[in-house]
Amino acid sequence: MADPQASAPLPTAADVDAAASRLAGVALRTPLISSPVLDAAVGARVFLKAETLQRTGSFKFRGAYNKLSTIPHERRGGGVVAYSSGNHAQGVAAAAKILGMPAVIVMPSDAPRPKRERTAALGAEVVLYDRDREDRTAIAREIATKRGAVLVPPFDDPMVIAGQGTAGREIIEDLSALGLKPDVVVVGASGGGLIAGIALAIKARVPGAKFYSAEPEGFDDTARSFRSGKREINARMSGTICDALMTNTPGAITFEINRKLVGEGISASDAEVGRAVAFAFRELKLVVEPGGAIGLAALLAGKLDVKGKVVVGVLSGGNVDAGLFHQLIAA
């Protein structure tokens, strides 16, 4: 069956600008932080976009609100349906609550308990599934069809991508205020929506910026797809502490953007990610979930030669299970 998203129009930098207008006063403008300790550890001037401080604790609110706010009023009665391991779930639930729309979220049964609970607390109906044996997309589509709801994909949607790109727009504005431009940008990739949106925003203003996707070892479908020129599939659907980064293949729309604007990927082990989570806690005073620390992990592990460069990384989320967090920072 052909991918229905494959023929969708690609979003542009202008779409990101329009999303910024919709999100103004709704999404938080998160800080771009730096640390002398981090600069010394990496040998570069490093700036981190702290999306851990965004509404619902991750960048996902940006894309969710942008998508939902563009749904015509006559179609809002049926609500929305989304599928997510947790961060997109909370973003959609929060956006739906703000806009007065019902929401159903299809979540894996092994998603961190805080993510499931917060999604329900925001008023969404949560439907659980087994990520190793069931197809979340098929489940969500069936619910959407029965209820006359709008399906809100976690990454492979032009308006979702454009919303995520507003983080990149803010990065450029904040660096420009310091008289700087990014040489290297490292962004975690699951389905690829965040890095696609940020690349659209930054490349439009700084075409020479070099982008790298960051993924957990064994779940590097984006990096492998860059090398092969086609969308690769991970062999496993679970098995990393980076629960937010276990999508098994890049999106059709996101890969079309990322293969042109990014084109290279790096990875980090769970042990390296754990050390990055602990570093962020001790040195930056930030709570970062494993998936949100993947770019920082790759930088701290020396996966890229960035000596003397201006480097930007994205801390994409902070919704971590308390037990796992304690284990990682105590190691």
Tell me the domain boundaries of the chain: 13-59+158-330, 61-151
- Decide whether 13-59+158-330 matches 61-151 in CATH topology: yes
Burial of 211 (0-12, 13-18, 19+ CB in 10 A): buried
CATH topology (fold) of 13-59+158-330: Rossmann fold (3.40.50)
Phi, psi of 214 (to 5 degrees): -125, 135
- What CATH architecture applies to the domain 61-151? 3-Layer(aba) Sandwich (3.40)
Q: pLDDT (tens digit, 0 to 9) for every residue of the chain, 331 residues total?
A: 334 444 678 999 999 999 999 999 999 999 999 999 999 999 999 999 999 999 999 999 999 999 999 999 999 999 999 998 789 999 999 999 999 999 999 998 988 888 889 999 999 999 999 988 899 999 999 999 999 999 999 999 999 999 999 999 999 999 999 999 999 999 999 999 999 999 999 999 999 999 999 999 999 999 999 999 999 999 988 899 999 999 899 999 999 999 999 999 999 999 999 999 999 999 999 999 999 999 999 999 999 999 999 999 999 999 999 999 999 999 8
Find the helix packing angle between 158-177 and 13-23, rounded to 10°.
Answer: 80
CA–CA separation, 97 vs 137, rounded Å? Answer: 23
